[in-house]
Structure 1
């Protein structure tokens, strides 16, 4: 991360002039991956209302098999600096905690205003809908320095995830998701960038495309009952329930979660393999995925609570295509610079005044 010092011959009496540090160049590959993943998040939340279509149900399950694990993996990959620079923890309050407080008010306010439910202060700050991810990010990132001290951090995280399914989390699934998805964060945190180069090879791209193309029809056939096997339990792909809540014994539950992890790794690697490596028309949009993530839920929930997504006309083949295209358009809209400028005070609030000044250091 740090560039080596260049020895400069200067007179002893004259101090060497320090050149300003060069701006770190962004990796277009990861910006591309973040944008496509954000689009899948929007599609997943919309497709959840169209389970009456077998094709949409198969696509929904294929997306949920890997898109959040990939999102968490990328989060871990870009949290590596926390292991070596404690000052980076300062950014979590203005970038995660304050936006959480702003948006949980908006999401809970929707329930009160659109559904007419009574205001309950005891539940007002509890994670709702997609807000669990911000809570998980804070906890995962706080744990970052620990993993650097372990000999086999990914293996420890996997074991912890498998064991956590025996913990009864009750009605609050945030802790279950946080523990269940932890291995993907730790994998992103600990993986060496050189290991990812294998996914950038042409052969990996073709193999990844083949796996992704086959995933939806394979799940469609699986869910059709033709194979005589039980259907996919979505709680395994949502990572939000204990084994007991899913009706599994501890051993069966751990086997199911291990299978979900393996499926996420296979499909996630295939997804990352097909992501473009170069700068594309949507690369810059990948720098605004938090805007897509936080804002799209307000739109989707508005249509959900008001019954728009339940309209029969939308549940026809043509309607489903239209809703899918509209979902992609929504993701594109929310990742534009115009939306960023308008909503920045809520998503990137100027909250550094809450932090103590760092004397002699940049903040």
Structure 2
């Protein structure tokens, strides 16, 4: 959930600085007293998008125990999973365009992604031992647990960025790898490579998009068109609940593991990619571009992403879903509001300051100085 989106969906570069908005660039260029190296301003549009996407991530996890017996919740769950991680990953790819494997970039890759991955992989394993009553569950840095898969995937995607910037047809190649992955159940769980490959096209697409593409989907015509398209998508998801497995949108299993013929894998890769891109465009069309009360929270989406999982897992262990009313519409609404409130708090600056030592450690002692 990339800050892939992390932004992603939510990484380090998404938190530490984003490309300035067109207005900011123009102001800097026309201000005679501008400093030679002005501080980059964060773009409110992307911070807003990341915050709204992380709220969808939290809502999706809150709906998991409520899917059984509720076609409406399952339809919403399917729609959210078709949207939130692709949105995070596209944005993560967009802000990875400048990654060149230089010393400074590698340092941020290690401190902003690799270190949090190790810390939270251990933390989630210990936490799962308690909540799932599995005292013998091993700690394995090669088998990402729960939410940590995204950090492992982002680490790999970022390292391979120079390759995607060099090849002639990066997106078709990424799609081909994703399609082939669905034919290979033997890929295994090492670094969740199956999911890393199947989500790869969204990251590569993010590397390819330009600022004008985002401006295109934010036009008034696009905002108007997004309403009926989103409504149709929800209706389609509701219709498909009895006939289609939403697990295709998880992108973490091969066709064989989903009890489907092999040829389903490549076909569903293209189909889900198309569906997700349409939904991402609709989502971005309605993301506000001006500063909002939640804009500042966009810088903390990785914190919200990694920390809210403890609450989501604990809610099941503590029996929050046991009352009968939780499995009625009022229960789904309550779960959604609580999830949104929790992840909002976890994205706030005080929480960022508290956990920065493990999420963005400086680690000057571990790296050589380069001039």
TM-score normalised by length of structure 2: 0.86
Gapped runs of 5+ residues in structure 2?
Answer: 1-18
Deviation at 1:20, TM superposition (A): 4.0
Seen in structure 2, the aligned counterparts of structure 1 residues 34 and 237 have a Cα distance that, compared at 3 Å, is same
Which residue is 2:248 aligned to?
A: 236
Which residue is 2:16 aligned to?
A: none
Please tell me whether residue 342 in structure 1 is matched to residue 354 in structure 2.
yes
Which residue is 1:27 aligned to?
A: 43
Q: Single out whichever of 128-137 and 77-86 deviates more from structure 2.
A: 77-86
SS in 1 for 2:321: helix
Query: How many residues align structurally?
Result: 340
CA distances 1:81-110 after superposition (whole Å, capped 9, x unpaired): 104856312211111111111111211111
Please tell me whether residue 215 in structure 1 is matched to residue 229 in structure 2.
no
Deviation at 1:170, TM superposition (A): 3.7
* Alpha-carbon distance in structure 2 between the residues aligned to 1:86 and 1:343: 25
Deviation at 1:157, TM superposition (A): 0.7
Deviation at 1:19, TM superposition (A): 4.9
Higher CA-based Rg: 1
Which residue is 2:11 aligned to?
A: none
CA distances 1:18-55 after superposition (whole Å, capped 9, x unpaired): 95401122111111111101111101111111112211
Please tell me whether residue 183 in structure 1 is matched to residue 195 in structure 2.
no
Which residue is 2:273 aligned to?
A: 261
SS in 1 for 2:115: helix
* Alpha-carbon distance in structure 2 between the residues aligned to 1:200 and 1:100: 34
Which residue is 1:317 aligned to?
A: 329
* Alpha-carbon distance in structure 2 between the residues aligned to 1:190 and 1:264: 17
* Alpha-carbon distance in structure 1 between the residues aligned to 2:343 and 2:235: 25
SS in 1 for 2:311: helix
RMSD over aligned CA atoms reads 2.2
* Alpha-carbon distance in structure 2 between the residues aligned to 1:124 and 1:287: 27
The answer to whether the 8 Å contact 2:153/2:191 transfers is no
Which residue is 1:328 aligned to?
A: 340
Please tell me whether residue 50 in structure 1 is matched to residue 66 in structure 2.
yes
Deviation at 1:200, TM superposition (A): 1.5
Which residue is 2:92 aligned to?
A: 75
The answer to whether the 8 Å contact 2:142/2:190 transfers is no
Seen in structure 2, the aligned counterparts of structure 1 residues 188 and 86 have a Cα distance that, compared at 3 Å, is farther
Q: 1:98 aligns with which of 93, 98, 115?
A: 115
Please tell me whether residue 270 in structure 1 is matched to residue 288 in structure 2.
no
Which residue is 1:228 aligned to?
A: none
Deviation at 1:281, TM superposition (A): 1.2
* Alpha-carbon distance in structure 1 between the residues aligned to 2:305 and 2:97: 22
Which residue is 2:5 aligned to?
A: none
Deviation at 1:210, TM superposition (A): 2.5
The answer to whether the 8 Å contact 1:206/1:274 transfers is no
Which residue is 1:174 aligned to?
A: 192
Which residue is 1:14 aligned to?
A: none
The answer to whether the 8 Å contact 1:173/1:240 transfers is no
